[in-house]
Amino acid sequence: MPFITRVVRPTARVVSVRGLANSAVRQKHTLPELKYGYAELEPFISGRIMELHYTKHHQTYVNSLNEAEEKYAAAVHANDVQAQINLQPLLKFHGGGHINHTLFWENLAPKSAGGGEPPSGELSKAIEKNWGDLANFKKTFNGYLAGIQGSGWSWLVKNKELGELEIISLPNQDPVVGKYVPIMGIDAWEHAYYLQYENRKAEYFGAVWDVINWKTAVERYSKA
């Protein structure tokens, strides 16, 4: 499955970038396919949360990203640098929202499909090397989640410079970029748990491990 699903949408007007003779055909972002039913992560994440999270929140990031990209293309076409810079926060927020949720759905799985089964192979060894065992890793990770002041995500990442696994937290919808490769992420926005867990977010952080798809994480690590 590609990292971000795209459909080719031929645009009426070919966008030409100054100095480039070739034209680029812009593509529209779409919601990626969810590989399980909304209710299949229950009782750890309710079907209602999954439905709203996927069909409303993620969809809004996708729509707003497409809008922002359209405006950005127009700004590029008009050679308007100021407008491009002005659009950057929107691209970052909605683009980040799309990237993060796409990664998140893939690194979740129903229990019947292996959700919660511990990682194997090199990833398992690397986790043990850094945190002793999986239980201590989860405890440390949950400390990062609990420490987020506002909306945000915590990630297990590979630091490409050091070749090491790390846990990081990022605010709002800032995606994992730069020297980090995302291996597994957990959404700590209130919309990810509030309908079921209300203010008891520690309970959500405890339960979500039962539907973590470590197979996806192992695969990402092998390519990182």
Partner 1 sequence: MQFSSLLFVQLPAFLSNLTNPSGPTPIVASSPSIVTSSASTMAAEAPKVAVAPLEKYMLPPLPYKYHELEPYISEQIMKLHHDKHHRAYVDKLNAAMEAHVKALAVSDVKAQIELQQAIKFNGGGHINHALFWPSLCPPGLLASEPNSAPLLIEALTAQFGSFDAFKERFKVLLLALQGSGWGWLVKTQRNVLELRTTKDQDPVTDDVSVILGIDMWEHAYYLQYWNDKASYVDGIWNIINWELLEARYDGTAAPTAL
Q: In what order do the strands lie in the sheet with 152-159?
A: 164-171, 152-159, 180-187
**Residue 141: closest CA among 161, 127, 121:** 127
* Residue 187 marked in a binding site: yes
Q: Which stretch binds partner 1 (CB under 8 A): 11-19, 27-35, 177-185, 188-196?
A: 188-196
- Span 168-187, contacts to partner 1 by CB under 8 A: 171-173
Among 198, 202, 203, 222, binds partner 1 (CB under 8 A): 198
> In the complex, what is the shortest distance from the CB of residue 171 to partner 1, in angstroms, rounded to a whole number?
6
In this structure, is the dihedral angle defined by the CA atoms of residues 193, 197, 201 and 202, taken in order, positive or negative? negative
> In the complex, what is the shortest distance from the CB of residue 190 to partner 1, in angstroms, rounded to a whole number?
4
89 binds partner 1 (CB under 8 A): yes
Strands (E), 89-179: 152-159, 164-171
In this structure, is the dihedral angle defined by the CA atoms of residues 174, 177, 179 and 181, taken in order, positive or negative? positive
Output the six-digit token pair for 136.
């201590």
Among 22, 82, 112, 199, binds partner 1 (CB under 8 A): 199
Binding site residues, partner 1, CB under 8 A: 52, 56-57, 60, 89, 93, 149-152, 171-173, 189-191, 194-195, 198-199
| Positions at the binding site for Mn(2+) | 53, 101, 187, 191
